[in-house]
Amino acid sequence: MSKLLIRGGRVYAEGRFASLDVLCEDGKIHEIGAQLEAADAQVIDAAGLMVCPGFIDAHTHGAANVDVNAADEAGLKTIAAFFATQGTTAFCASVLTDTQETTEKCLAAIGGVQKERAYGAQLLGAHMEGPFLASAYKGAMPEYLLCKGDAALLRSYQAKFPGVIRYITVSPEVEGVPEMIAEIADDVVVAIGHSGADYATSMQAIENGARCITHTFNAMRLFHQHEPAIMGAALESDCFCEAICDGRHLHPGSVRMLLKCKGWDKVVAVTDSIMAAGLPDGAYKLGVNDVVVVDGDAKLADTGVRAGSTLTTAQALRNLVKFTGRPVEDVLPLLTENPARLLRMDDLKGSLAPGKDADVVLLADDLSVRATIVRGDVVYDGMA
């Protein structure tokens, strides 16, 4: 039996910090309490640090010079190792709209890594961003590969790669998509986005089972008082809303407005990062696209359209504290509990409680990451 004792830190549990210890056994949190003891346990001295649930990134296309669409298993592990340095303990690898051949290669690689452990942040599965998306709001999606809703195609991927596809983004105005949402929503988490859908169509998609809005405000038809559109449905409904809090995709005031409209329990901070995350400005790829990063801002080389981000979860946390003026304990759920609930994994992840996965990040007071623990394994140690 493997044991890990995190001693002497300020543990974030049930919405507040308290001076407690955390005992992990065989990858799970076994006990949280004062002055815990455990024979033969590996001990981490967390004095002066915050002990928090690990961050969950539901939407990311890569980092550390690896693009998800071009990644083999080793590349995905490189992404995961980098994410661990940023406090991410779990993530979905976002597959940009691509050919069926490339999509299947991506799903195969993701499935292979899912079966392993202790390589960095845990790869939860695939987020498919497309191909069932609207061409008018395609963003960085290659238009010639977009298609109408096709549950049979998705089911074929699921049959070949069982348990790999966890999350998908679709556009509700695309032919066949409303019916597709109703068919798949029980076993795949559905988000709507890249969309110019009207209000009624968007609300119907949510009623059919869509649980989230992809990168809210971005690549979508915005609110108008006479036609609230998909943006109005996002704000009015009870669905979750992704938010890219890099200060570029959303003005800080837009972040605050979204939180006020939706409530702090319905906003999910995502990075939507590309392979340039963690690297200097330069030329990169996002799927089939050429991307240029200038001053940390990623844009398509040919059109100048923004194409993902260079954001990390650790920076998103710091930005959110700055944007909102709220203490870290108020902001943490956007990176922990909320994405866990969105992905229907809150029985295992998103908070520190006995029985849940031992996914933990240790933070200094400046919100820098000092150590990251995934299912009881120390996958990043910056304490030295």
3-state secondary structure 39-86: CCCEEEECCCCEEEECEEEEEECEECCEEHHHCCHHHHHHHHHHHHHC
User: And the tokens for 352?
Assistant: 């520190």
Per-residue pLDDT, 113: 98
The pLDDT of residue 374 is 98
- Selected from 3.40.50.620, 1.10.3720.10, 3.20.20.140, 3.30.1330.40, the CATH number assigned to the domain covering 55-342 reads 3.20.20.140
Separation of alpha carbons 363 and 329, rounded Å = 12
Give the domain 3-51+352-381 fold. Urease, subunit C; domain 1 (2.30.40)
> Do 55-342 and 3-51+352-381 have the same topology in CATH?
no
344: left (phi over 0), alpha (psi -120 to 50) or beta: left
Give the model's pLDDT for residue 8: 95
231: helix, coil or strand? helix
Given this model, what pLDDT does residue 199 score?
Answer: 98
CA distance 289 to 278: 19
- Please tell me the distance from the alpha carbon of residue 84 to that of residue 331, in angstroms, as a whole number: 19
> What region does 382 belong to: left with phi over 0, alpha with psi -120 to 50, or beta?
alpha
pLDDT digits (tens, 9 = 90+) for 65-97: 999 999 999 999 999 999 999 999 999 999 999
The helix or strand, by DSSP H or E, that contains position 254, with its residue range, turns out to be helix 252-262
Residues of the chain with pLDDT under 50: none
Structural domain boundaries in the chain: 3-51+352-381, 55-342
0.85 exceeded by pTM: yes
Q: What pLDDT is recorded for position 271?
A: 98
pLDDT at position 49, please?
Answer: 98
Give the tens place of pLDDT for each residue, 281-333.
Answer: 999 999 999 999 999 999 999 999 999 999 999 999 999 999 999 999 999 99
